[in-house]
Structures are given as structure tokens and as C-alpha cells.
Structure 1
């Protein structure tokens, strides 16, 4: 199943996730024990319910393990690095706001607008 074919809903059962990722449910349960980033909520029926953000983490884990051939320990470390980089990105202050326009800038803009209005008036005449 392609990422674009994923139904848009808040929670997914373990069987749905397994079909989306193309893996067995026991693999998901094993990954839960190995990756602290995976903590699906439990329904009253004790069934695992994965959130959409869990799905992104699972795609990442699958890519690291299956495509990039990381070990479990290596994938766990890489996920920690990615999470730290994400936190660093979010903690970076926003760029400074541009300087306020000066009176000269405002006069230039007014002059340009006036010239354009005169051109429009001339075209309409």
C-alpha cells in the first residue's frame, strides 16, 4: 500500500498498520518492545491503537531496518538522533524581522503608486 492510499483517521488498529507497512503483526509487537518511541494507546478492549504520528515513526523504522539495513540498536540510535535534530530545529529562534520602512521608503512607494495611477488615468482617457 502506498503512503497516499492510507486512510485519514486518528487511530489505526495493529492489523491495519501491518497491512499498510506490509509486515506481520508480531513484528510490530516486537518493535514496540525495542523502540521506546512506539507507545500505541490501548482501547478499553486492550487492543493497540496507533496514531498517525506512530505511523510515520513506523515507516521510518521499517526504512531503517529493511531498506538501509540498520541493526535494531543502530535504528534506535538513529531515531534518537532524528528526534534530537527535530527538537533543535523547533528550539531555534525565528529569524529577525526586517527593519521597519523609513520615511524615504514610504515616499518612494507613494511616488511609484502615484505614477502608476497617472498611467492608468491616461489609459482610461
Structure 2
């Protein structure tokens, strides 16, 4: 049984494994790896051993991509263009995504 994630329980955590990101976002690791090929902005750091290390900004981006593809029904190409223009358009509310990320983090631990 999973423990309930407590907000701020580990505010120092800087990096997440692909398994942790998969749990938080409810996306398969293969989907995350696939998206890395199609979204140039999604580029997690790699450890010396070659393991992906995602930062909180990567989680926010993944949630934005997930929203565009799954909720707003964009194509991969369309979502990629939208993400590229995100800073100009500001159509995706970062505050809302941060709230959603926190809610998803509450599930994990």
C-alpha cells in the first residue's frame, strides 16, 4: 500500500527517476521516452550510469504535453508547436499546472 505524499515532505528533492515520473503522471515510461524524441524541450539530465533524472520543470512540461495530447486532443506535431510557442501565447495556465502537479505529488511516496 502506498503512503500518502505529504506536501513539503521532501522539498529538497531535485531529481526524479523515470519510474517516479511515471507514477506521478500516470504515463508509461515508454511514453515518456517517446515524448523525448518528439519534444525537444523535454530533455532530462542523465546520470553517469545513463539513467534519466527529471527535474520539477520537466514534470510541469510533461503535464502540459499530457494536457495538450489527452485532454485537448492535439496531434504530436501540433502539441510540439504549441509548446514551442507557449512563452508567447501563455494559453496553458502555469498556476493550474503547478496545482495539478502538487495534487499528483500528493499521491506519491
Global fold match (TM > 0.5): yes
Distance in 1 between residues matched to 2:59 and 2:71, nearest whole Å: 17
Deviation string for 1:25-83 (max 9, x for gaps)? 00000000000000100001110000110110000000000111100001001111113
Aligned partner of 1:59 in structure 2 is 63
* Structure 1 residues 34-45: aligned runs within 5 Å: 34-45=38-49
* Structure 1 residues 18-33: aligned runs within 5 Å: 18-33=22-37
Aligned partner of 2:14 in structure 1 is 10
Q: TM-score, normalised by structure 2?
A: 0.70
Once superposed, which parts of structure 1, at least 4 consecutive aligned residues long, lie more than 3 Å away?
Answer: 4-8
Aligned partner of 1:120 in structure 2 is none
Distance in 1 between residues matched to 2:65 and 2:21, nearest whole Å: 13
Distance in 2 between residues matched to 1:57 and 1:20, nearest whole Å: 13
Q: Which runs of 5+ in 2 are unaligned?
A: 1-5, 91-109
Aligned partner of 1:110 in structure 2 is none
Distance in 2 between residues matched to 1:5 and 1:20, nearest whole Å: 14
* Structure 1 residues 1-125: aligned runs within 5 Å: 8=11, 9-85=13-89
Relative to its length, the structure with more helix (as a share) is 1
Quote the RMSD (CA, aligned, Å): 1.9
Choose 1 or 2 for highest CA Rg: 1
